Structure formats: structure tokens, C-alpha cells
Amino acid sequence: MAFSRRVDYIRTVGPSQRVAVAVLIAGAAAAMASVFSQKYAAPPVPHPAQAAGAWQAFTTAPVIARDTFIRVLERAGLSAGERLAVVSAVRDCFDVRKLRPGTEMTLAWSRNGSLESLVYPVDADRRLHLSRNEHGFSARIVEVPSIIRTVVARGTIRGSLFASMERAGERPELAMQIADVFAWDLDFYTDPREGDEFEVLIEKKEYSNGQPPAYLRILAARYNNAGTLYEAFLFPGADGKPRYFSRDGRALQAAFLRSPLKFDARISSRFSLSRLHPVLKIRRPHFGTDYAAPAGAPVQAIASGVVTMAGYHGSAGNMITIRHANGYETQYLHLSRIFVRSGQRVEQGQQIGLVGSTGLSTGPHLDFRVRRNGSYVNFERLRPPRLDPLSPAEKQAFARQRDQFVAMLREGRNPSEVLTAGTHPPGKPLPRPAPTLHLHEPP
């Protein structure tokens, strides 16, 4: 009603008066809009330090694939000058090219918005610490405080080895280490059975900052596979390098691993002199063993040797050929990626590529082949020789060490003191077992 009267009034006044009234109305509207925006508009986003309302605020900057140190700092909000100063200080103690995707930097800011410090996890045991000083920035590598304990883990296979390990109170990484220990006797694609039992004595590094513990060396392991007991005991051989031996002192390590893959694969096609080709639909020899593994699964060299071919090879797709001792040669076909080059020496168990479907292939798989003296052989029937056994004198020392490990497995506890990190680095001769044992029973 009031608005109608204002319109009627404007219509009755002259042109000059109409302009004056319109100006007054527009000014009033602008003033009201300003008040409204100040009262209800979203406030500006402050710097993290200002938002915290404290002397320091902390933010994190994730590291993604193909990131550089400069790029992470830029996303975190550092100026160009600060970025250069930080990288200059860090280079004295850390290779800035070695950022790991999936990690993150933690940055501390002052109230005025300047960087005060930065922490980056170099690895599980070390942290990069950078801090501001009167000259700019200084950086150093700091060791994460930790202790090493020897623990016993045991459980029963229900479903996968990974799930069974978690039920035993341990992480799936331990399953991978068990597979490595028995890699010459058990194929963990096909051999495990429901109800199998495992038991391991392992060094576990525990950190004071709350990060997950790390598994070091398995000292002893037992795996009951459908009634057949496999045992492994770590002991330094004649060359001082720790290896695994059976209860009677027989070396577990053989010339070849049982499989070019670790997990998540099944044999989809076996060695045959007459197989119906899935693509060509004709019968012809198949001189390999096909593993139907998912694309991207890691492929490992089954023995040490020299790469003689690494590249694309017709219907074989991306292919690697490795020459081994005693006239053996292995071939890895249809790979999605190749991590080695021709002429390079590789070690047993080294990752050399990824499963793919290149070449003449109907889906992701690894076609694995073995030749001896130029002729293809059936890998599944191959029984390569073991490494040399222990000497009589070594067997006596081994027996004492083995019996001590067996007692620790049986009792599930050890009265000796706890070892501090770095007391006996992996790969060195075994000391007298010392750390406290914790028993993890499956629920």
C-alpha cells in the first residue's frame, strides 16, 4: 500500500523532481545492500595461522604422483622466495627428488602467516625436520625412536592367508614374508588348504610415535600344509649371509622360485604339445604356463641372471628373457610394463615387470616359459637343485640355534632384555636371541 502511494506521487511530480526522487531511492537501496552484505556475507578465508588464533597452526600438504618438492610447497601456499629458501636448506641432507606419493608434509605457521617448520617422513625410520632460524632455514634428518622385539604369531588358515594373518593380530605384510620364506617349497596360489596352521618367530620394530610397527627378519617359521609340516630356521651360512634351512640343515633356497608371481593368480593353461589356441582357434604347442593374474600384478625373476631381451616381440607382446646358470633361460610374456633393460643383471625375486595383455592375448595373464639348452621344458615338473648343505661343523652351531628358536616358539615368551633399534641390522650374523615375546592368538 505504501509502495503504491509512492508510485502515484512520482507520477504527479515534474520530470526534474522525478529524477531527484529516483536518485534518493537508488541511494537508499545501495546503502541497505551494503549493510545487508556486511551482515550476512561469508567472511574472507583467513590464513591457517590466523584461523587458529594461536602462535602456530599446522597444515598438511599431500604428495601426489609426479610431484616435485617445489610444487608441494607451492600448493601449501609458500611464496616463491620461501620455496627456494626451503629447498636450498633441505638439499644439504635430503634428495628432494625422492618424494614418495601417498605421503604428506606437515607445516607449522606463525601468526603472521610465515612458515616456521616442516616435517616430512623420509621412511619408516627417519623424518626430515626443517625449522626457521635467524639466517633463514635449517634442515636435518631425525631418527624415529624405536625398539625391536621378537614376537610369535600363529594362526589357522580360514579363507586367504592375508585374512588369517589379520585374525592372528598381525598385518598382511607378514603373509608376504612367510610366502618368501617357503617360496622354494610352497606355491601360495595353489598349495594352501583350509585348516592349515602357521607359526612364525619374527623381529618387530615398534615406534614411539604411534606409527604401525615394521616387520624385520623371520627367525623361524612353521607351516602345516594339509598334514605336511614345513619348517624354516634362519642361520648364517659359510659366507656369513643368513639363509633358511630345514630342521635337518638342508638349505631351503633352490635355484628357482616356485612361481614368477606371489599371490592373486591361478594357472589357467598348462604346458602342452597340443593346445587349442584361444585366439587363433587352431591346435599348436603351448610351451609355457599361463597365470591368470590381474593387470598390474608384479612379476618377479625366478632366479638370478642376465636380461638378454626386454621389449616388444610380436605376438608375445612386451616380453623379458633372462639367461641363468647351467643353460637355463626364462621368458615372461604379455607384460603391461617392463622394469629392466637388456644386459642388466637381476636377482632372484626381483620385480622385473607387471602383468598385462599385450600381443596376442584374450585378457590379462602371464605366459611364463623355461628353456634349458635351447629346448622348452615343463616348469611345473622342474625340480631344480638346492644350494649346498651345511658342513658338519656348521650343523652343530645350527642345531643349537634351531633348538633355541623352537623353544621360543613353544613357550611363546623369552626372559631376555629388549633390543634397541639398530642393535643388529638385517643381513648381519645372528646374535643371541634377546627381545621380549608377545603371543598373538587368533580369536
Q: Domains of the chain (ranges plus CATH)?
A: 48-143 (3.10.450.350), 147-253+389-440 (3.10.450.350), 267-381 (2.70.70.10)
Query: 20-37, pLDDT tens digit by residue?
Result: 444 444 455 444 444 433
State whether residue 362 is helix, strand or coil: coil
pLDDT (mean) for 162-191: 84
Residue 236 has pLDDT above 70, yes or no: yes
Q: How confident is the model at residue 436 (pLDDT cuts 50, 70, 90)?
A: very low
Q: So what's the pLDDT on residue 279?
A: 64
Q: So what's the pLDDT on residue 276?
A: 65
Q: From CA 331, how far away is CA 321, in angstroms rounded?
A: 4
Q: So what's the pLDDT on residue 41?
A: 35
pTM above 0.75, yes or no: no
pLDDT (mean) for 160-172: 84
Across 15-29, 193-207, 231-245, 378-392, which has the greatest mean pLDDT? Answer: 193-207
Q: So what's the pLDDT on residue 48?
A: 41
Q: From CA 335, how far away is CA 296, in angstroms rounded?
A: 9
CA distances from 370 to 323, 343, 374, 377 (A): 10, 19, 9, 6
Q: So what's the pLDDT on residue 418?
A: 35
| Closest to 309 measured CA to CA, from 346, 362, 360 | 346
Residues 6+ apart with CB under 8 A from 88: 137
383 versus 314: which is more confidently predicted?
314
Q: From CA 39, how far away is CA 33, in angstroms rounded?
A: 10
414 versus 108: which is more confidently predicted?
108
E runs forming strands in 122-279:
126-133, 136-143, 146-156, 197-207, 214-225, 228-236, 242-245, 267-269, 272-276
Q: How confident is the model at residue 52 (pLDDT cuts 50, 70, 90)?
A: very low
Q: Are 100 and 63 in contact (CB under 8 A)?
A: yes
166 versus 307: which is more confidently predicted?
307
Q: Are 149 and 165 in contact (CB under 8 A)?
A: no
Q: What percent of the chain stands above pLDDT 90?
A: 49
Residue 120 class from Cβ within 10 Å (0-12 exposed, 13-18 middle, 19+ buried)? buried
Q: So what's the pLDDT on residue 310?
A: 97
DSSP 32-96: HHHHHHHHHSPPPPPPHHHHHTSSEEEEEEE--TT--HHHHHHHHT--HHHHHHHHHHHTTTS-T
29 versus 122: which is more confidently predicted?
122
Query: 278-312, pLDDT tens digit by residue?
Result: 666 667 688 898 998 899 999 999 999 999 999 99
- Please provide the average confidence, as pLDDT, over all residues in the chain: 80
Q: So what's the pLDDT on residue 19?
A: 43
Query: 353-365, pLDDT tens digit by residue?
Result: 999 999 988 889 9
Residue 245 has pLDDT above 80, yes or no: yes
| Closest to 302 measured CA to CA, from 332, 268, 269, 266 | 332
Q: So what's the pLDDT on residue 262?
A: 76
